[in-house]
């Protein structure tokens, strides 16, 4: 089985994760899935508030982003009991998703090695 070299530009599924390219590809797979979760969260919340609360889609999206960013100013608020319960769960899940994305990016930046690193000793 030809796995290719670490410099051929192709991420191979069975390549060793000990190579720098393997570590980068593992990290990228984790981070690349996070935006999908974030978009799914925003779309589902927008659809929910549009249908349950009867909000215009742009108002619903605005509320979703303001809520997850913890920057809500109270101009919009759910009025139904179901909407209020959904909002509680949505805040807990939404903040967790965005914190996870930030943590993955920060961890990658901390572990990142300079491209022109020289060996000493």
pLDDT digits (tens, 9 = 90+) for 66-97: 887 777 777 888 999 999 999 999 888 888 88
DSSP SS3 for 78: coil
Domain that holds residue 38: 20-111
d(CA 63, CA 108): 31
Which CATH number is 24's domain given?
A: 1.10.287.70
SS (H, E, C) 40-73: HHHHHHHHHHHHHCCCCHHHHHHHHHHHHCCCCC
Residue 111 dihedral angles phi and psi, to the nearest 5°: -80, -10
What's the count of helices (H) and strands (E) in the chain, helices before strands?
3, 0
pLDDT band at 23 (very low <50, low <70, confident <90, very high): low
| 86 close to 52: Cβ distance less than 8 angstroms | yes
| 34 close to 97: Cβ distance less than 8 angstroms | yes
Into how many domains does the chain fold?
1
Stretch 42-62: mean pLDDT: 92
Asked if residue 119 belongs to a domain, the reply is no
Stretch 17-23: mean pLDDT: 49
d(CA 121, CA 28): 32
> Residue 119: its pLDDT value, please?
57
Asked if residue 117 belongs to a domain, the reply is no
> Residue 54: its pLDDT value, please?
94
Place of tokens 């060793």: 16
């Amino acid at each position: 089985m030809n796995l290719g070299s670490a410099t051929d530009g192709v991420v191979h599924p069975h390549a060793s994760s000990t190579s720098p390219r393997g570590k980068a590809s593992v990290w990228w797979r984790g981070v690349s899935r996070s935006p999908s979760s974030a978009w799914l969260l925003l779309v589902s919340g927008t659809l929910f508030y549009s249908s349950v609360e009867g909000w215009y889609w742009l108002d619903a999206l605005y509320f979703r982003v303001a809520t997850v960013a913890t920057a809500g100013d109270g101009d919009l608020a759910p009025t139904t009991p179901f909407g209020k319960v959904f909002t509680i769960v949505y805040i807990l899940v939404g903040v967790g998703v965005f914190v996870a994305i930030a943590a993955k990016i920060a961890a990658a930046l901390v572990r990142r090695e300079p491209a022109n690193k020289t060996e000493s000793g």
